[in-house]
Amino acid sequence: MANLDPQTPRSSKYLPWSQDDVPIIDPRESFSDVVFKLSSYIAKAIDAAYTYEQLRTTSAGQSLKPLITYLSGDCHHPAIVAALLAARYLFTNADEDSDSGLNESRALACELVAWQFLTFLSEKELIDYLLYELPQASDDNAQPPPSGSPTNTNGVRSCHCYVDEDRTDETSPLIHAQSAEHGAILRPPKRASFDHIPGPGTSSTFLGGEDDASRRASLDESMAGMNALEIAAIADAKKFLSQKPVQKIVEDIWNGDVIFWESLSVHAVKKPRVYNKRVADPFTRLRVPKYQKAFQITFFLSFLALYYAVLVERDPSHITATETVLYIWIAAFAYDELGEIKDAGLMFYQTDFWSLWDIAIIGVSAAFVITRIVGLLRKSDYIIDVAFDILSMVALFLVPRIFSVMSLNPYFGSLIPVLKEMTKAFCKFLPVIVVLYLGFLTTFTMLARDRMSLNEMSWMLIKVFFGSSYLGFDMAVKISPLFGYTLMLIFVCLTNILLITSLVSLVSNSLTEVMAHAREEYLFQYSIYVLESSTSRRLTYFMPPLNLFPLIVLRPLRLVLPSEEVRRIRIFVLKATHIPFVALIWAYENSRTMISRSHPTFSRAPHFTSRPLSAGRLSLEGARDFVKSPTTRRALNETSITVTPDMAAGSTTKSALDAGTTDNAELIALVQKLSEQVDGLTAMVAGQQRD
């Protein structure tokens, strides 16, 4: 199989790309095959370094138009958007020996094609393509879904992964088909690390031979269970995530207008869909990211209150009731964080800026618990004091974590990537400072070997480095009467003038670069903030500290009860323990509904498809799109205001337009009435399917 990179240099600007050059993508092809075809085409089409704006607005992107035309008109592969973003990831992590600027241009081309493809989709299709979860690698080849498995309106088949019961756990999606014993249990897609993806030198190419199959299998396995938005976050596709169609879906997920679970039952299947209040289980609102974050902040506030209470009491000889509750909070938070890592995968989990703070809270809290127990067992006052000193450091991470909700604000949200880039720039510059410091420390220590210790010299140079220059000159004679002043003057000039100025300039450049793309950076962080709350494959999600109850009580039942019974018990326990949370959500949503009714506003016009429908895709959603379509309304409007010659002869233009306006209003009312009837029929059909 040929290498993705073109064998001979050629310019895409002068190369006439036609529809015949576009790869044909069959809906039944595996994910890795689609990624290979798209990567091959883009690698040949883009053979020079371009910026995103050049690809979008100039002739540099002409070679991508045949691919966009084909994908928007004839391609109905459910993972096409995910494949484009996976190709972007592979180009970004290409061989270090290759042209980094060229690979970056190809990566940007993948984002551009993916975005252009989305502009041809309706809102329903956006949900299907952006939130389609990649199946297990074995499912594509070994055991395809049965012919009777449900499909959505776009012909996108739902992913059902059948595995043995002994490979399931409480995070698995629920039973779909019965087996001879307890049923063939649905297992959540594997959230593997991207370490298995072909490394440098092969990440952007699939070579022919024996390694090709293993590399494709690694790609399928590593991205199994992810959707296009998650791959975009991992691939650092900020331009793609900042586009309006993508942000529309992200915003709908955040507000709960797009949900993944419609019912809380043993046979529920995770599938992205538009929220319908008439048929959805009220307890599924617990999975809405907006409400999850609100309850999470409440948990952190209670955590902080317990933290202050324990430090104020500070009983060195006994574990008080408040301290016991604090231990429960620490354990619940650690278990919840472990579940997030397991659900999202380590690669996606670490993209969240606040995950580092969560790990730090758990690490410092665990160190406190261990030190506290050791101190009590040994009855050592010193170890106990150290334990409380360690606990005091939790506030360094817990207090900022509470205010992480401020990152939802565009201003504060854009400061987070600024802080990250400035930290990276400082860490890159730090080795220069360390090397220079060690050189002067060695010299000064040897010169003052009979007068100052190594510890004294170290702290004195640190003080000089951070601005106490006068202290260095006062000690210069003590260090060396001959070389002291000269060396100290050089050290002060290098540190306080040269290094500090260089560091400030470097950090300022990082700040300028990030702020130039502040909107993209904010939307990227916001998307990750939303997606981390919606990637869980668990139907029953327990809020901390209630999540310890299924861990301690329900998990042992798996040893004696079938998986179906355990899931039924988990659902019952969830409903029994989370009624207050659901009541708060219900009150909030109903109050908002009442306010919106008292202050009605015009709803936003939906986004309609301009793609040709494939076989089997016409449905009630398509009928609704037709009724609501701006094209349909425009055609009706034009028909209603047509002025015949007889009308023109017998009346003025103004009277004709007035008559047309009246007819237009009546037709719009009729269209709205038909739309409401279609909505009611859709809800009725959904209710019957649920029963």
pLDDT tens for each residue of 346-368: 878 888 888 889 999 999 999 99
Output the DSSP codes for 456-516: HHHHHHHHHHTT-HHHHHHHHHHH-TTTHHHHHHHHHIIIIIIIHHHHHHHHHHHHHHHHT
Residue bearing the bigger pLDDT, 508 or 304:
304
Nearest to 224 by CA among 190, 188, 256, 271: 190
Mean pLDDT for the stretch of residues 256-276:
89
DSSP designation for 208? S
Q: How far apart are CA 651 and CA 654, in angstroms?
A: 8
Q: Kindly tell me if the per-residue pLDDT of 530 is higher than 50.
A: yes
% of the chain at pLDDT higher than 90: 33
Q: Going along 214-266, which residue ranges are E strands?
A: 258-259
Three-state secondary-structure class, residue 533: coil
Q: Kindly tell me if the per-residue pLDDT of 425 is higher than 60.
A: yes
Confidence of residue 344 (pLDDT cuts 50, 70, 90): confident
Please report the pLDDT score of residue 448 as a whole number: 84
Three-state secondary-structure class, residue 271: coil
Q: Kindly tell me if the per-residue pLDDT of 1 is higher than 60.
A: no
Please report the pLDDT score of residue 321 as a whole number: 94
Please report the pLDDT score of residue 224 as a whole number: 83
Mean pLDDT across the chain, nearest whole number?
77
Mean pLDDT for the stretch of residues 164-182:
38
Residue at token pair 């809020």: 543
Residue 279 · residue 680 · CB < 8 Å:
no
pLDDT tens for each residue of 442-472: 888 888 888 888 888 889 888 888 877 778 7
Residue at token pair 């055609």: 635
pLDDT tens for each residue of 117-137: 999 998 899 999 999 998 865
The Cα-based distances of 213 to 30, 496, 601 in angstroms read 12, 57, 56
Mean pLDDT for the stretch of residues 163-175:
40
Nearest to 626 by CA among 604, 609, 603: 609
Amino acid occupying residue 38: L
Confidence of residue 504 (pLDDT cuts 50, 70, 90): confident
Q: Which of 297-306, 381-390, 620-629 has the lowest mean pLDDT?
A: 620-629
259: its two tokens: 């949900």
Residue bearing the bigger pLDDT, 504 or 2:
504
Please report the pLDDT score of residue 97 as a whole number: 57
Confidence of residue 411 (pLDDT cuts 50, 70, 90): confident
pLDDT tens for each residue of 181-202: 333 333 333 444 444 444 433 4
Residue bearing the bigger pLDDT, 453 or 624:
453
pLDDT tens for each residue of 286-317: 999 999 999 999 999 999 999 999 999 998 88
Mean pLDDT for the stretch of residues 645-671:
49
Please report the pLDDT score of residue 95 as a whole number: 66
Amino acid occupying residue 368: F
Please report the pLDDT score of residue 649 as a whole number: 41
Q: How far apart are CA 145 and CA 161, in angstroms?
A: 8
Please report the pLDDT score of residue 168 as a whole number: 41
Please report the pLDDT score of residue 300 as a whole number: 95
Q: Kindly tell me if the per-residue pLDDT of 154 is higher than 80.
A: no
Q: How far apart are CA 500 and CA 285, in angstroms?
A: 52
Three-state secondary-structure class, residue 587: helix
Tell me whether residue 321 is exposed, middle or buried, using C-beta atoms within 10 angstroms of its C-beta: 0 to 12, 13 to 18, 19 or more: exposed
Mean pLDDT for the stretch of residues 8-30:
64
Q: How far apart are CA 324 and CA 331, in angstroms?
A: 11
Confidence of residue 668 (pLDDT cuts 50, 70, 90): low
% of the chain at pLDDT higher than 70: 72
Mean pLDDT for the stretch of residues 156-171:
39
Residue 225 · residue 536 · CB < 8 Å:
no
pLDDT tens for each residue of 62-115: 889 999 999 998 899 999 999 999 999 999 887 665 677 889 999 999 999 999
pLDDT tens for each residue of 195-229: 444 443 344 444 444 566 777 777 878 888 889 99
Q: Kindly tell me if the per-residue pLDDT of 272 is higher than 80.
A: yes
Please state the φ and ψ torsions of residue 578, each to the nearest 5 degrees.
-110, 15
**Core vs surface per residue 185-194: b (16+ CB within 10 A) or e:** bbbbbebbeb
pLDDT tens for each residue of 550-606: 899 888 888 888 888 988 999 999 999 999 999 999 999 989 888 877 765 544 544
267: its two tokens: 């046979």
DSSP designation for 121? -
Q: What angle do CA 225, 539, 167 make, to 5 degrees?
A: 60
73: its two tokens: 């008109």
Confidence of residue 371 (pLDDT cuts 50, 70, 90): very high
Q: Which of 390-394, 486-490, 560-564, 642-646 has the highest mean pLDDT?
A: 390-394
Please report the pLDDT score of residue 683 as a whole number: 61
